[in-house]
Amino acid sequence: MAMQRVFVANRGEIALRIIDACDRLGFETVLGVSAADRLSLPARRAGRVVTLGGPRATESYLNVPAVIQAAISTGCTAVHPGYGFLSERADFARLCAANGLTFIGPRPEQLEALGDKISARRLAESVGVPVSPGGPTRTAADALLLARKIGFPLLVKAAFGGGGRGMKQVHDEAGLAAAWELASSEASASFGDGTVFIERFVQAAKHVEVQILGDAHGHRIHLAERECSLQFRYQKILEEAPCVALSDEARQRLHDYALRIADALDYVSLGTVEFLVDVERGDICFLEVNPRVQVEHPVTEAVTGVDLVREQLLVAFGEPLRLRQEDIRVDGHAVEVRLTAQDPAQGLRPSPGRLTHWRPSPVGGVRWDTHMYEDYLFPPYYDALMAKVIAHGPDRQAALARARTALAGLDVRGLTTTQPLLREMLDTPEIIHDTVTTRWLEDRFAKEVRS
């Protein structure tokens, strides 16, 4: 393979993770940063650093002309968008190709097909993958008619985009119109399209996702599943692999469904097919496909031994997959908890500022993915993620125990963090015995996490 120079169009721990994978492959790296990130740890580790613009994401990480120009002017051959920011933008992927840059991710047409929940849902249905009752609505009146067909409670959410923005839960007709208007307004502001999707809300659900990987030569595999049920306002807080709540039959169905969708798309790169598993009914429903590397990818790496970012880089440059489905084995169990600069006593309000102490405890079987260092000025402009604590053990209880030990030994000062909340959660019977569903955190910690 020819020498590659990769422009890393992201920040934080994922930028550091990409730089590390490139270093081990012998690829050169150029990091695009905002004015607020010029002294960040990824900036210290990259081969070269270019300032894209001001501190806000719209001035830098979302500034498409600046990113393209920086990549071209530094002689890069490819752009890795990480997750968030430009990672799911089909127009950005096309612009990369038009300027001779390899976009390290799916093809533009795949991004377009998956960026719209409506088309993704139709794709799933076309290959026999079950979807939840629901559909798109253009007006509040349309929403009311559909709601009466599928029943309450239900979710109204943006047809485009994700991350919990533009998503509202509705329990009766009285609250539907206001929720629809708010969801549509948020969706329009965040994603440029106010189309709202309505679907049945599952009261007790497990959120399970399947990791897929495909190359440009028609080879596609899955790398088992993860459970991501522990969430707050649709933001994941704890992830684990594998999902021990699944029967062998349900697990096989999920893997099969994920590969059906990947095959239908002729999918290239990393991706995650997400499902809801109804605990009471046993039903499985397709949610969406995230066409990028996921925040929680390290738990899959821990149990499979596969470096997902390395594989993503290689298939982007045309290399055939070196792995076949029979090569994938799940070894033990892994959990990941997300430590953030947020105040649990204030509804997880962000708490940026100066990090005066940062001393992760060395624990066997624990990996820290972080861009923190002592005296780091945590900026107020971006996601509040400080670190991902990934614990691997021979079984689930061993992995949880190692995560507890790692969090207990962390010395972090200067910022209010979710460390106490995470420690408390890991000691609760519901997590220990894996009875958590997607609503559990908001219900269980209503006092600790006040809205």
Tell me the CA end-to-end span of the chain in Å, nearest whole number. Answer: 52
Active site residue 396: no
Beta bridge partners of 102: 78
CA quadruple 337, 340, 342, 348: dihedral sign? negative
Residues 159 and 133 sit within 8 Å (Cβ to Cβ): no
Rounded distance between C-alpha atoms, residue 24 and residue 8, angstroms = 15
Residue 419 DSSP label: H
In the block, tokens 């020819």 appear at 2
**CA gap 120, 87 in Å, rounded:** 17
- Please tell me which residue in 89, 121, 292, 404 is annotated as part of the active site: 292
Tell me how far apart the alpha carbons of residues 9 and 144 are, in angstroms, rounded to a whole number.
42
Identify the CA nearest to 57 among candidates 384, 381, 386, 383. Answer: 381
Tell me whether residue 213 is exposed, middle or buried, using C-beta atoms within 10 angstroms of its C-beta: 0 to 12, 13 to 18, 19 or more: buried
Name the token pair of 318. 């045309």
Residues constituting the chain = 451
* CA gap 117, 196 in Å, rounded: 10
Q: Give the largest CA-CA distance in the chain.
A: 62
Name the strand (E) or helix (H) holding 239: strand 235-241
Nearest Cα to 366, choosing from 316, 314, 423, 407?
Answer: 407
Closest CA to 286 of 299, 272, 298, 297: 272
- Cα–Cα distance measured from residue 366 to residue 386, given in angstroms and rounded to the nearest whole number: 16
Q: Which helix (H) or strand (E) holds 252?
A: helix 248-265
Residue 176 to residue 154: CA distance in whole angstroms? 9
Tell me how crowded residue 198 is: count the other CB atoms within 10 A of its CB: 28
Just list the catalytic residues.
Answer: 292
